[in-house]
Chains A and B, each alone.
Chain A
Amino acid sequence: MAQPKEIFVRLDRCMGCHSCELACAVEHSQSKSLYSAISEKPTPQSRVYVEWVPPDNRLPVLCRHCEDAPCMHACICGAISRTEEGVVMTNADKCIGCWTCVMVCPYGVIGRHLQEHKAYRCDRCPDLEIPACVNSCPTKALVYRTVDEFSKDVRRVASREMLSGEGG
């Protein structure tokens, strides 16, 4: 089976512009247009969170779709399941808003929609080939790749650094 793609973050790239958050909210709106989404009800919500790590680091954090997902185990009403593509999904119809998933999520990336009274999180943009946050990132801090591809890139950079140290 082919390796599924994940949303990875290149940790040294984020400028903290929050563009991913806007793009995520727009993609999860009815109109899918920033200009109209602003005034929509229920208010579209972003599922990616740009965090500040003092003094000068920023990092987008979003659902990792854990293989052994704590939220899925903890959900008392069976609202959370995994799709064939490996995406951990919350079924809003079943969600009772008990926030147990929020308690157990090690990343803090499950949100509470105040108008819909439901939990929400990254759904990897099922209608898009590349998730909206990845597409919106001006510095390509967010990338959509398989573990193999991402690791290969990391290895390539690491090898170069090791050799440049060797060559002095």
Chain B
Amino acid sequence: MAGDNGNSNKSTDPAVQEMIAKAESMNVVTVWDRYEAMQPQCGFGDTGLCCRNCLQGPCRIDPFGDGPDKAICGATADVMVARGLDRAIAAGTAAHSGHARHLAHTLLKMAEGKAKDYTVKDGAKLRAVSTRMNIPIEGRSDNEIALDLAKAALADFGEKDTPVMWAATVVTKDRVKVLTDLGLVPKGIDYEVSEIMHRTLYGVDADAVNLLLAGLRCGVADLAGCYMGTDLADILFGTPTPVVTEANLGTLKADAINIAVHGHNPVLSDLMVTVASDMKEAAVAAGASGINMVGICCTGNEVMMRHGIPSCTHSVSQEMALMTGALDAMVVDYQCIMPAVVNVAECVGTTIVTTMDLCKITGATHVEFSEEAAAEKAKETIDIAIQNFSRRKNKPIDIPEIRTPVVAGFSVEAIVAALSKVNAEDPLKPVVDNIKAGNIRGVCLFAGCNNVKVPQDKNFTVMARKLLKENVLTVATGCGAGALMRHGFMDPANVDDLCGDGLKAVLTAIGEANDLGGPLPPILHLGSCVDNSRAVALAVAVADYLGVDTDKLPVVASAAEAVSEKAVSIGAYAVAAGLPTHVGVMLPVLGSPLVTEVLTAKVKDLTGGYFIVDLDPESAADQLLSVIDERRAGLGL
């Protein structure tokens, strides 16, 4: 690629390439340098054949059969690999549900009058969710309902008389039966995480298939955590509606106080955005044109979806936002924040502000956030950025002139509202009819992260390009959405170029019915990583409409550049929901032929879903297309 500074093997995003070159010229060590220094990575870990779960270990099993074929305790390769995978699912579930629990506590404090800076922004959603949870709504105030809903949410974490309600009420009736028959309905979200830790302890579960089923059940608990996260965030901060904005490093402004919110939970970032809008005067007094909030990773998606805040960059390139030298503060909560940001920040003079007790980073400034004093704490962090701006004045900065138009904000409610403009009586009919007629061949969800092992965004963009041309309706979440937005896949102007004729006609018809003066964007942005729940909600709505279960739909998912254990737990619930789920990097399971076989084939007989591991985006897209066709044939289409 011309003008890529030789960095196209690291990132396919030209803005990121520019910053990698700058980092190299300044001798700033970044993720790509650390990755190179880490080579070669350990083959035992890579194949899942390393166990450190007890103090007799570490144990490694020789995949070539020359050395040990069992751990010291006698665990086989199958058991070792299944245990490792289970712990990854448990970690991912703990993280998503930790995010949801934080929201539940915020809702509770708000309802009890202890968190005055939070209100119910979407009363209709509060009522809809509460009805689903069997909480009375008639004649009750927002706060009364919210109090009950928050308590119901918190109750879902432990064992109780009912199963996890955020799992049992969000899938199709048939799916509840499938999951019940397989023993995959979670008892409590924390219960399942805790049980995985128990059963993977020294000398407990030593049956690989039993371990994998427990992993899937924990995956269903992860769906509950994600779904709850989305529901409660929508209630507290508003359900997203379509919004026009921009993405990439060019959204930073040289003359403004640039603050990046990075991490996941809108409990912090949404407040930051609100408070920042009231602090323009202080910014101007400091000599700036104003405050420019930008997002990184999923909390960026949260504030983009609800407020149109631009996304600065995502995932693997988070250090590159700092390399511009234009960020005055990076305010983080938790998850996916590389500790290395403090080292890069030190080189360029940005202040990293940590805000959560569970996520402190040595070298960062810590401002402990609390829901009770949310606005005050948000103001305190913004003040840090304003002070830092005075230091930055007259120092050289490099903001790549690269910005991509983005239309985001496609909650399920927003999608249904847009479809109602086409058919008010029967909103899903236009989509389902087009699926039946073949104008829409199927649906694909892109989710997950950017992995340093893949040239950034390459797998997402290569696959999306192919699927869109083949008329696959495509939605995206998390840093997968981030990748695709930075490459123009959420710009309606690119529909002509990217989409096949059938899909183009559908996107245009919906866009025109909504007076957008053009089509919807080629790919619909559903939100952050917890918002994979929105994809499930959409699939369930279509399945209910067709009167089939989700494992019959021509719907597939892809975590094309996955990193986090959260991506593993999402994959687990996608498979439990019956979706063929592509992963574009290697999962640490190849050391066990049995586990590999179960995940990629045998589980299909149980849930209908299964993993497709393919590191080549071209052939991965082909595989997804043939799976979509197989599903269409199954439906008689």
Do they bind each other?
A: yes
Choose from B42, B62, B593 the contact partner of A39 (Cβ within 8 Å).
B593
Cβ of A26 < 8 Å from any Cβ of B? yes
**Pairwise interchain contact A35-B44, C-beta atoms closer than 8 A:** no
**Pairwise interchain contact A38-B60, C-beta atoms closer than 8 A:** no
**Pairwise interchain contact B586-A23, C-beta atoms closer than 8 A:** no
Report how far A34 CA is from B60 CA in the complex, Å: 15
Q: Note all chain B residues with C-beta closer than 8 A to A39.
A: 593
Cβ of B375 < 8 Å from any Cβ of A? no
Q: Note all chain A residues with C-beta closer than 8 A to B593.
A: 39
Q: Which DSSP category, helix, strand, loop or mixed, fits chain A's interface?
A: helix
**Pairwise interchain contact A34-B43, C-beta atoms closer than 8 A:** yes
Choose from B40, B62, B65, B586 the contact partner of A19 (Cβ within 8 Å).
B40
**Pairwise interchain contact B42-A34, C-beta atoms closer than 8 A:** no
Smallest distance from the beta carbon of A84 to chain B beta carbons, Å? Answer: 29
Cβ of B66 < 8 Å from any Cβ of A? yes
Given the interface pairs A38-B591, A135-B40, the reply to whether A21 lies near B62 with Cβ below 8 Å is yes
**Pairwise interchain contact A38-B44, C-beta atoms closer than 8 A:** no
CB contact list, B584-601 vs A, under 8 A: 586, 590-591, 593
Choose from B40, B47, B67, B586 the contact partner of A21 (Cβ within 8 Å).
B67
Binary CB contact string for chain A from 9 to 44 against chain B (1 if under 8 A, 0 otherwise): 000000001110111011000000011011100011
Cβ of A4 < 8 Å from any Cβ of B? no
Look across to chain A and name the residue whose beta carbon is closest to the beta carbon of B50.
Answer: A17
**Pairwise interchain contact B65-A43, C-beta atoms closer than 8 A:** yes
Q: Which DSSP category, helix, strand, loop or mixed, fits chain B's interface?
A: loop
Binary CB contact string for chain B from 31 to 49 against chain A (1 if under 8 A, 0 otherwise): 0000000001011101100
Look across to chain A and name the residue whose beta carbon is closest to the beta carbon of B38.
Answer: A138
Given the interface pairs A18-B60, A35-B590, the reply to whether A26 lies near B66 with Cβ below 8 Å is no
Q: Note all chain B residues with C-beta closer than 8 A to A23.
A: 40, 43
Look across to chain B and name the residue whose beta carbon is closest to the beta carbon of A40.
Answer: B64
**Pairwise interchain contact A46-B66, C-beta atoms closer than 8 A:** yes
Look across to chain B and name the residue whose beta carbon is closest to the beta carbon of A37.
Answer: B64
**Pairwise interchain contact A34-B46, C-beta atoms closer than 8 A:** yes
Report how far A38 CA is from B63 CA in the complex, Å: 6
Cβ of A45 < 8 Å from any Cβ of B? yes
Number of B interface residues at 8 Å Cβ cutoff, please give it: 17
Q: Note all chain B residues with C-beta closer than 8 A to A34.
A: 43, 46-47, 63, 590
Q: How large is the interface on A (under 10, 10 to 19, 20 to 34, 35 or more residues)?
A: 20 to 34
Cβ of A136 < 8 Å from any Cβ of B? yes
Given the interface pairs A21-B62, A43-B64, A46-B64, the reply to whether A35 lies near B586 with Cβ below 8 Å is yes
**Pairwise interchain contact A22-B43, C-beta atoms closer than 8 A:** yes
Look across to chain B and name the residue whose beta carbon is closest to the beta carbon of A50.
Answer: B67
Choose from A19, A43, A45, A135 the contact partner of B43 (Cβ within 8 Å).
A19
Chain A residues with CB under 8 Å of chain B are 17-19, 21-23, 25-26, 34-35, 37-39, 43-46, 135-136, 138
A-B contact pairs, 26 of them (CB 8 A): A18-B60, A18-B62, A18-B67, A19-B42, A19-B43, A21-B66, A22-B63, A22-B64, A23-B43, A26-B43, A34-B46, A34-B47, A34-B63, A34-B590, A35-B47, A35-B586, A38-B47, A38-B64, A38-B591, A39-B593, A43-B65, A45-B66, A46-B64, A136-B40, A138-B40, A138-B42
Chain B residues with CB under 8 Å of chain A are 40, 42-44, 46-47, 60, 62-67, 586, 590-591, 593
